[in-house]
Amino acid sequence: MVKAYLRYEPLANFGVIASTQSNITYDHTGKLAITPALEDVLLWDLKKGTQVGKWKESGNNAQVTSIAKSPNNRDYAVGYEDGMVRLWKLDTATATVTLSGHRGTVTTLVFNDDGTRLASGSRDTDIIVWDIVAETGLYRLKGHKEQVTCLSFLKNPERPNSNEGYLLSASKDTLLKLWDLSSQFCRETVVGHRTEVWSFDIDPQQSVIISGGAEPMLKAWKINWSILEKSIDEMEIDDQPPQEADEAESLKKAITAYGNIPRNSRDRIVTIRFHPSGSFVGVQAADKAVELYQVRDHEQIRKKIQRRKKRAKEKGKQVDEISDEIQPEDEFHSYTIVRAQTKIRSFDFAPVKDVQKAGHIQLAVSLNDNVIEVYNAPLPAEKKSDIQEDPSRTSSIDLQGHRSDIRAVALSANDDLLASASHNSLKIWNVKTRSCIRSMDCGYALCCSFLPGDRHVLIGTKSGDLELFDIASSSMVYSVAAHAGSIYSLHMRPDKRGFVTGGADKEAKFWDFKINEEKPTSSPTFVHMRTLKLSDEVLCVRYSPDQNILAVSLLDSTVKVFYHDTLKFFLSLYGHKLPVLSMDISSDNTLIATASADKNVKIWGLDFGDCHKSIFAHQENITGIQFVWGTHYFFTVSKDKLVKYWDGDKFENIMKLQGHHGEIWALAVSRQGGIVVTGSHDRSIRIWERTDEQLFLEEEREKELEEMYESTLVSQMEKVDVNDTELDSAGKQTMETLKAGERIIEALEIADEEKQGWEAYETAKAKGLPAEQPQRNPILLAMGDLSPEKYVLNTVQKIKANDLEEALLVLPFAKVISLLSYIEGWAKKNWNIILISRVLFALIKIHHNQIVANRMMRPMLDSIRHELRANLQKQKDIMGYNRAALTYLRRDWEARNTADFFDEPPSTTNDKKKRAFIHV
């Protein structure tokens, strides 16, 4: 009989307010902050400090690395670590479109002005421009040699509808590149920076670019639209002779250096952003501050130049020497700095254009220690004599997460409460609602446990103190300096009357609880009863469930087992090459499992101390191990970010639980094994739940092999760029595109077989030969007695728009000819003309040479051209008619509703009491 196990599935992850891999952004109202939370996106109400929404894609485990808001204020583009881009709707919290094209982490996203185009930059050095309406990639722009760090669309403000516009990109290769989107080529390369360019922004008037990297100054650039609007042929060669003999004549540049802007920070730039009003610029470096610059108007700049001349005159200099030319530091003036408690990861301005009415500039910042803060920065002082106010923090979201790694977790006896401890903070969570109900300051916690009764939590700290916290009052009620070194481990005694601690001072200490008999309701304390001195530092201590023995793991890589009552030595378990970091004893007191820094788990018998099995369990140090009560199954966690579930009798790995993005430090398994809780370096707490779904080891191993094969298959099919061209297709081969291609081939085979059967029957009938009607294909009958043409069309229609071109690449040429014959039929019947056109153009682009060389296909292609042109003209006419009708309806509505905005006309009735002029 094959043994079946129950599967564990992720139930929840919480504890992350804002992760550090991506930027933060406001919604269009300015009330919500949209923040990355590892693989999810969270929506926080900034006034209430509560989470109001969560965007989670099932099956996705890649971290969020970029967020961009669409101008329509409903859609948000979210880029992920695996190269995917998903479009989320704010009101429905659903991912409407998934775009796959990048082979590396998506690092930057930007929408154009009307939200119909999206540009994404990646660590794979490519830029992809996506059509949001058609849900497909238009093209891939290649030119950068390093990660793309920032993107922005450019449009001539005087002629916004003239052409596709331009795209400006920055990269770690120190270059800024200007791409012409109508011709899809690199128009200009700006080479002013000497270090990696990390960010830039363009002012709302589309005239000035401010960029920055690791240099101590910001760089400003001017955009010359008169040059940019000319084609390459029209552009003039500079009239000036070259300065040096070897300097070649160059084309006039549309982006020219404006100058340098000084900044206060010496760290590299992370974000540069213009305020929505265009009157301010925020510059954030990789430190604790956001520097705010005022954009001066012409009157203020003129006064600044006059003051400069006046000062020069006072110093006895010639006024003529002072230039009247406007410098960038005249236009952009640093006037205040917003300082946070810790390093800032990203910031965003509130979407308020009228700052004079608001009276301040509001910005939200996400910090590196899992906090969101909102600051109000005052407007610049009108006069120099006025005192400039300091920015003030108005709100902070920090309760729902830890500031640093979660080092220990513990579950209460009834699994309703969860305690998590980190450096300086202990938090109590409600397991069902996943909300933080208590938060207390503590030392650097390394281990924790609930006391019997679940009203108190005990923690052991790095400084050697034992701290007891009362949950009801959220306060520390007792503290004692227990060890001379760090307390690495503590374990409750099975009789619940005391506990044992082990520390770096080479001692295991035994403690008993003490309750004040005069005040039985007061908090318990504990007293030191006896000490067990050992030869090395104690890393872990564990009682057996029957309280007969105590196991102690030491820094010398051995585990010593003692009788609890006499502390007499019983067994020494040696075999690990590195120290045992965690261990556990099974509920029937027969097995002890030890997890070590040498990446191995060893299972020992407690009767003779013999090693039953040594398992190479993880790729990194194993930090925690725990048995499920009543079984020999156990869980292990490691620095390799995995949780693994094992059978201690068969020595088999039952399943792997993936989800964490950092080293896992802590593990807690509920009494009955219903839930498993893990805490990690990524500051998240994850709960895994046991389901009723059965799991078989053979199936799991097969699934793992399939996943391995699929990953290698996709990487083998990756296109190698032989031609070093700037332009390429936007698609990427994935398992979905391969399967979609296979589905098209299967559909063509079924349809061809059906078609040929009927053609043979019709031919035989025409010749007067005896023939039987061919049997219909059961698949076509099951789908509603479909015709072969309709069946193939339905199959193609079900493929995602973004995957279609890559799926067609899978087809062999024989199937391409077959598909073209079906396209001819679809064109005649006027079925889904838009999709037919896309498929036809893709096939002709891919197989152009073979199609041109094949004369037999000419009549078919002529027929398709004739039918398709006529149908496309019809579509165009319908669209034109509909557009004209909508324009008419809009005009009509405006004409009817304009009167609503005026006051009612005065009454014309004669009022006898009022005087009136009488015309005689």
670: number of Cβ within 10 Å: 21
920: pLDDT strictly greater than 50: no
Express each pLDDT in 109-147 by its tens digit. 999 988 899 999 999 999 999 999 988 899 999 999 999
pLDDT over 60 (residue 919): no
The DSSP code for 236 is: P
pLDDT at site 324: 66
Mean pLDDT across the stretch 606-614? 92
Comparing 207-221, 561-575, 824-838, which segment has the lowest mean pLDDT? 824-838
Residue 31's pLDDT band (cuts 50, 70, 90): very high
Confidence check: pLDDT of 447 > 60 = yes
Q: Can you say whether residue 743 is alpha, beta or left, with left for phi > 0 and alpha for psi between -120 and 50 degrees? A: alpha
Q: Write out pLDDT tens, residues 617-626.
A: 999 999 999 9
Which one, of 386, 347, 345, lies nearest residue 365 by Cα? 347
CA atoms of 147 and 135, how far apart (whole Å): 25
More confident residue, 896 or 531: 531
Give the Cα separation of 22 and 63 in Å (integer). Answer: 9
Q: Which of 348, 341, 404 is nearest to 22 (CA)?
A: 348
Kindly calculate the radius of gyration of the chain based on its CA atoms and give it in whole angstroms: 36
Position 243 pLDDT exceeds 70: no
Q: 655-714: per-residue pLDDT in tens?
A: 999 999 999 999 999 988 899 999 999 999 999 999 999 999 888 889 888 888 877 777
DSSP string, 58-105: TT--SPEEEEEE-TTSSEEEEEETTSEEEEEETTT--EEEEEE--SS-
Say what percent of the chain tops pLDDT 90. 59
User: What is the per-residue pLDDT for 240?
Assistant: 46
The secondary element (H helix, E strand) that includes residue 336 is strand 332-339
CA torsion through residues 908, 912, 913, 916, sign = positive
Averaged pLDDT score across all residues of the chain? 88
Position 908 scores a pLDDT of 47
pLDDT recorded at residue 904: 52
Q: For 535-594, write each residue's pLDDT tens digit.
A: 999 999 999 999 999 999 999 999 999 999 999 999 999 999 999 999 999 999 999 999
Looking at the predicted structure, is the pLDDT value of residue 235 above 50?
yes
- The more confident residue out of 618 and 764 is 618
Q: Is the pLDDT of residue 316 over 60?
A: yes
Under the banding of pLDDT at 50, 70 and 90, the label for residue 911 is: very low
Q: How confident is the model over 717-734, as pLDDT tens digits?
A: 665 555 567 777 777 778
Q: Is the pLDDT of residue 846 over 90?
A: no
- On the question of pLDDT at 236 being above 70, the answer is no
Tens digit of each residue's pLDDT (9 = 90 or more) over 479-520:
999 999 999 999 999 999 999 999 999 999 999 998 776 666
pLDDT digits (tens, 9 = 90+) for 78-103: 999 999 999 999 988 889 899 998 98
Least confident of 152-166, 640-654, 657-671: 152-166
Q: Is the pLDDT of residue 377 over 60?
A: yes
- Residue-wise pLDDT tens digits, 39-79: 999 999 999 999 999 999 988 999 999 999 999 999 999 99
